[in-house]
Amino acid sequence: MRKIEYCPISMKELLVRMKDTSELMMDLGYSAVLYDDRDLALEVIRLEEKMDIYEYHAQVVAMLAARTVEDAETLSGILQIASAAEIISNAAGDIASIVLLDMGIPYELKKDLRLADETVARAVVGADTSIVGRCLEDISFETEVGISVIAIRRSESWIYDPSPNTVIKSGDILFARGHDEGVPPFMEMVTGEPYVQKVLQESGVCQLDRAVDIIVEMKNTSELAVGLAYTAVLFDNDEVAREVVEIEQLMDDMKYSLQRWVLRAAKYFDDVETLRGLLHLAVSTEIISDAALKIANVVLHDIEPHPILAMVMRESDEVITRVEIKPGSEIDGKSLGELELETETGMYVLAIRRGDRWTYNPRARVTLGAGDMIFARGTKSGEKHLIDMSGFR
C-alpha to C-alpha distance for 337 and 163, rounded to whole angstroms? 29
C-alpha to C-alpha distance for 296 and 290, rounded to whole angstroms? 10
Question: Which residue segments constitute the domains of the chain, with CATH numbers given?
Answer: 11-106+203-310 (1.20.58.220), 118-191 (3.30.70.1450), 318-389 (3.30.70.1450)
C-alpha to C-alpha distance for 226 and 251, rounded to whole angstroms? 13
C-alpha to C-alpha distance for 291 and 81, rounded to whole angstroms? 9
Give 94-111 pLDDT, tens digit per residue: 999 998 988 767 666 666
Reported in sequence order, the residue ranges of 94-170 that DSSP labels E, i.e. its strands, are 119-124, 147-154, 157-160
pLDDT of 294: 95
Could you tell me if 81 and 15 are in contact, meaning their C-beta atoms sit under 8 angstroms apart? yes
Q: What average pLDDT does the chain have?
A: 84
Res. 290: pLDDT tops 70: yes
pLDDT of 207: 58
Query: Helices H, strands E: what count in the chain?
Result: 14, 8
C-alpha to C-alpha distance for 8 and 231, rounded to whole angstroms? 29
DSSP secondary structure letter of residue 270: S
Work out the average pLDDT over 285-309.
Answer: 89
Share of the chain above pLDDT 70, in %: 90
pTM for the model: 0.80
Res. 75: pLDDT tops 60: yes
C-alpha to C-alpha distance for 216 and 231, rounded to whole angstroms? 23
With CA atoms as reference, report the closest residue to 50 among 102, 103, 9. Answer: 9
With CA atoms as reference, report the closest residue to 26 among 104, 107, 102, 84. Answer: 84
With CA atoms as reference, report the closest residue to 138 among 160, 163, 116, 114. Answer: 163
pLDDT of 4: 67
Could you tell me if 370 and 327 are in contact, meaning their C-beta atoms sit under 8 angstroms apart? yes
C-alpha to C-alpha distance for 348 and 320, rounded to whole angstroms? 10
